[in-house]
Amino acid sequence: MPLQTKLFIDGEFVEAEDGSTITVLNPHDNSEITQVAQAQVADIDRAVAAAKRAFPAWRDMQAAERGRLLLRLADLVEDNAEELARIESLDTGHPIRDTTGLDVPRTAFTYRYFGGMADKVQGSVVPVEPGFLNYVTREPVGVVGQIIPWNFPLMFTSWKMGPALAAGNTVVIKPAQVTPLTALKIGELMAEAGFPPGVVNIVPASGRTAGQHLAEHPDVQKIAFTGSTSVGRKIVNYSAGNLKRVQLELGGKGANIVFDDAFLPGAINGSAFAIFHNQGQACIAGSRLLLHERIADEFLDGFLSLAGSIRLGNPLDPDTEMGPLTSTSQQKAVLSYCDITYQEGGEILIGGKRPDDPGLADGNYVEPTVVRAQPEDRVCQEEVFGPFVSVNTFSSDEEVIELANSTEYGLGGGLWSRDLSRAHKVAGAMRSGMVWVNCYKRVNPGSPFGGVGSSGYGREMGFEAMHEYTDAKSVWVNVDAQIPPYYPR
Ligand code: NAD
C-alpha cells in the first residue's frame, strides 16, 4: 500500500528540516509500518508562514469555489475509500468493518457537508436608528492551528478542516505522532483536488515541542484542540501570548442510563456499541452504565454475554469486531485501571486482562471489561479511554440525574426508556453537550458536537462550527451622507 510519509507544507511533501522521523507501529503486533517525517519547531514555522501567505487569496476566493474544492475532496475520499480504510485500520487498530462502514463514509460526508456550507454563511442587518444601516458580516479568523488525537485521526481531519476551510481560514493541522498516516493521505487528495499551496499544511509532530509551538505561535489566530483535558488546560495557557481564539474538545465520562421501562435488547446492544466501538477509545464512549435496580440483573446477563462474545482480532480481518488499542501505553493505562478497580474494592465482572489467544500476544489487546464499583471511585470518575465500563444501580429518576452529573465531565450521555416524558425530562437535566435517547454515539455534520465542564468549550459541526471559525464584523453606515452624525458639544 503506498503511504505518504513526509510533511505536507505549502502544497509539497517535504522532509523535516533536521531529518527527524517517527516510527509508526502496527497496534496488532507492534511491528514497524513505516517511518514518517516528524515536524520540529522550524517546520511549524515553515507551515505557519505558508498558511499566512495563502490566507488573503483563500479568504477572498468566492465562497462557492472554496466549497467546490471541498466537494471534490469528498469525492476523492470516496474514490479512495478502500485504501483509506485499510491505512486507518493498520495505523489505529480500528476494525476494517468500522473504518469501511463508519470512518471513511463519515469523513466524506463531513467534507461534503462543509463544502455545501461554504456559501451559506450569511451575515445580517440589524434594525438600528433611522438614517443608519448596520450590517454584520462573518470574517474568517486567519491562520488556524489544529491539533488532533489518535483515536479517529481520519474523521477528525474533516471535523476540523471542513468548517475552517469552508469559512475561508488557512490551516496548519498536527496529527498525533502515533497515527499520522491517513491525515497525510488527505494532504495528497487535497493536492489532487486542487487546493492552492499553503491553504492546508499537515505536520505530524510531538505535542510537547511542535504542538506547543503551534499553540503559542503569534501568527496563528485560533487553536482548535481535540485531546485530553490536561493538555487542553495547557493549550489555554499557550494561547495567552497573542490572545488567540481557543476551541477545546476534551475528555468525557459518558453516563449511559437504562431505565426499568427500556426496551432491553436494544439497550443492551446499543450500550455495547456505546463502550466497545473503537475499543472504547472515544471521548463520547458510554463508559458509565447506570442501571435501574429492577432491570439490572436481566440487563447484565445479556450485556455480559454480549461483551464476552465480541470477536477480538487483527483489525484487517473483516470478521474482527474489536481490534487492539492504538498504542502500548494506552493498553497499559487501561490495564492499570483494572488494578485500581481491585485496589478500590470493586469487582471485575468480565475481562480485565489481555486476551489469552497467543495470536494476539504481541498486540495492544484488552478484553471487553465490565466492573462494579462505587460512584465516587476513580474508575467511575476518571476517563479510562478503553473497552472498560463501570456499573452502578439507581432506584429513582432524581438519584440517576445526580449520578449522571457527578463527574467533572459533560460531553455525551445517553438514556434508554420508552416513557417519552421521562426521557425528555432526564435529557434536559443531564449536564452534557450531547444526549442520545434510545441510541448512542449518533453524530452528523449538521448537529453540534462538544461539551461543557472539563469536556471543554466550543462546538464542532453545523452552523455553530462556522461561527467558531469566523468573527462577526459590524459595519455602521450613515445612509444620508449629507447629514452629519450627532456629536454632542
Ligand atoms: P492528548 O491530549 O495526549 O493528545 C492530543 C493531541 O495533543 C496530540 O496530537 C498530541 O500530540 C498533542 N499534544 C500533547 N501534548 C501537547 C502539548 N503540550 N501541547 C500541544 N499539543 C500537545 O490526547 P490523546 O491521548 O491523543 O487523545 C485522547 C484524549 O482525547 C481523550 O481524553 C479523549 O477524550 C480526547 N478526545 C476528545 C474528543 C472530543 O471531541 N471531545 C474527541 C476525541 C478524543
The CATH number for 351's domain is 3.40.309.10
132-140 and 470-478 strand pairing: antiparallel
Does residue 484 belong to any structural domain of this protein? no
Supply the range of the domain harboring residue 107.
Answer: 7-250+455-475
The pLDDT score that the predictor gives to residue 423 is: 98
Cell numbers at residue 192, please? Answer: 489532487
Q: Mutate which of 160, 228, 279, 468 to test ligand 1's pocket (most atoms within 8 Å of Cβ)?
A: 228
The pLDDT score that the predictor gives to residue 2 is: 86
Q: How many domains does the chain have?
A: 2
User: Measuring from atom 18 of ligand 1, which residue has the nearest CA?
Assistant: 208
- Tell me, yes or no, whether 336 and 410 share the same domain: yes
Whether pLDDT at 86 is above 90: yes
User: What's the 251 CA to ligand 1 centre distance in angstroms?
Assistant: 9
The pLDDT score that the predictor gives to residue 189 is: 98
First to last CA, the chain: 76
User: Measuring from atom 11 of ligand 1, which residue has the nearest CA?
Assistant: 207
Where does the pLDDT of residue 488 fall: very low under 50, low under 70, confident under 90, or very high at 90 and above?
Answer: low
Where does the pLDDT of residue 485 fall: very low under 50, low under 70, confident under 90, or very high at 90 and above?
Answer: low
- Tell me, yes or no, whether 207 and 301 share the same domain: no
373 Cβ contact list (under 8 Å, min separation 6): 341, 344, 345, 346, 347, 379, 380, 390, 391, 392
- Tell me, yes or no, whether 119 and 25 share the same domain: yes
Q: Are 447 and 433 a contacting pair, CB within 8 Å? A: no
pLDDT tens track for 333-365: 999 999 999 999 999 999 999 999 999 999 999
User: What's the 230 CA to ligand 1 centre distance in angstroms?
Assistant: 9
- Tell me, yes or no, whether 216 and 286 share the same domain: no
- Tell me, yes or no, whether 369 and 322 share the same domain: yes
The pLDDT score that the predictor gives to residue 393 is: 98
Whether pLDDT at 487 is above 70: no
pLDDT tens track for 98-113: 999 999 999 999 999 9
Does residue 442 belong to any structural domain of this protein? no
- Tell me, yes or no, whether 245 and 263 share the same domain: no
User: What's the 203 CA to ligand 1 centre distance in angstroms?
Assistant: 15
The pLDDT score that the predictor gives to residue 366 is: 98
Q: Are 124 and 135 a contacting pair, CB within 8 Å? A: yes
15 is an active site residue: no
- Tell me, yes or no, whether 239 and 316 share the same domain: no
**What is the per-residue DSSP string for 185-236?**
HHHHHHHHHTPPTTSEEE--B-IIIIIHHHHH-TT--EEEEES-HHHHHHHH
Stretch 55-61: mean pLDDT:
98
- Tell me, yes or no, whether 183 and 209 share the same domain: yes
User: What's the 423 CA to ligand 1 centre distance in angstroms?
Assistant: 32
- Tell me, yes or no, whether 263 and 230 share the same domain: no
Q: Are 141 and 245 a contacting pair, CB within 8 Å? A: yes
The pLDDT score that the predictor gives to residue 296 is: 98
Where does the pLDDT of residue 484 fall: very low under 50, low under 70, confident under 90, or very high at 90 and above?
Answer: low
pLDDT tens track for 386-423: 999 999 999 999 999 999 999 999 999 999 999 999 99
Does residue 485 belong to any structural domain of this protein? no
Q: Are 383 and 275 a contacting pair, CB within 8 Å? A: no
State the sign of the Cα–Cα–Cα–Cα dihedral 294, 299, 304, 305: positive
pLDDT tens track for 197-227: 999 999 999 999 999 999 999 999 999 999 9
The pLDDT score that the predictor gives to residue 92 is: 98
Whether pLDDT at 468 is above 70: yes
Whether pLDDT at 85 is above 90: yes
Q: What is the C-alpha separation between 377 and 398, in angstroms, rounded?
A: 21
- Tell me, yes or no, whether 155 and 111 share the same domain: yes
Q: Tell me which residues have their CB closer than 6 angstroms to ligand 1.
A: 147-151, 174, 176-177, 207-208, 211-212, 215, 226-228, 231, 234, 249-252, 283, 383, 385, 411, 451, 455-456
Q: Are 47 and 17 a contacting pair, CB within 8 Å? A: no
Whether pLDDT at 489 is above 80: no
Coil, strand, or helix at residue 303? helix
User: Measuring from atom 23 of ligand 1, which residue has the nearest CA?
Assistant: 227
The pLDDT score that the predictor gives to residue 223 is: 98
Residue tagged active-site, from 88, 249, 383, 468: 249
User: What's the 176 CA to ligand 1 centre distance in angstroms?
Assistant: 8
- Tell me, yes or no, whether 470 and 376 share the same domain: no
Whether pLDDT at 486 is above 80: no
Q: Identify the CATH number of the domain in which residue 153 sits.
A: 3.40.605.10
Does residue 69 belong to any structural domain of this protein? yes
Q: Where are the alpha helices (DSSP H) in 344-447?
A: 378-381, 397-404, 420-429
Q: Mutate which of 155, 212, 226 to test ligand 1's pocket (most atoms within 8 Å of Cβ)?
A: 226
Coil, strand, or helix at residue 470? strand
Using alpha carbons, list the distances in angstroms from residue 394 to 94, 289, 296. Answer: 34, 11, 9
Percent of the chain with pLDDT over 90: 97
283 is an active site residue: yes
The pLDDT score that the predictor gives to residue 253 is: 98
Q: What is the C-alpha separation between 35 and 40, in angstroms, rounded?
A: 15
Atom of ligand 1 nearest to the CA of 248: 41
Residue-wise over 133-144: b if at least 16 C-beta within 10 A, else e?
Answer: eeeeebebbbbb
The pLDDT score that the predictor gives to residue 399 is: 98
Stretch 158-180: mean pLDDT:
98
Stretch 236-248: mean pLDDT:
98
Whether pLDDT at 230 is above 80: yes
- Tell me, yes or no, whether 34 and 149 share the same domain: yes
Cβ neighbours around 53 below 10 Å, total: 16
Q: What is the C-alpha separation between 207 and 210, in angstroms, rounded?
A: 6
Residue tagged active-site, from 88, 216, 283, 338: 283
Percent of the chain with pLDDT over 70: 98
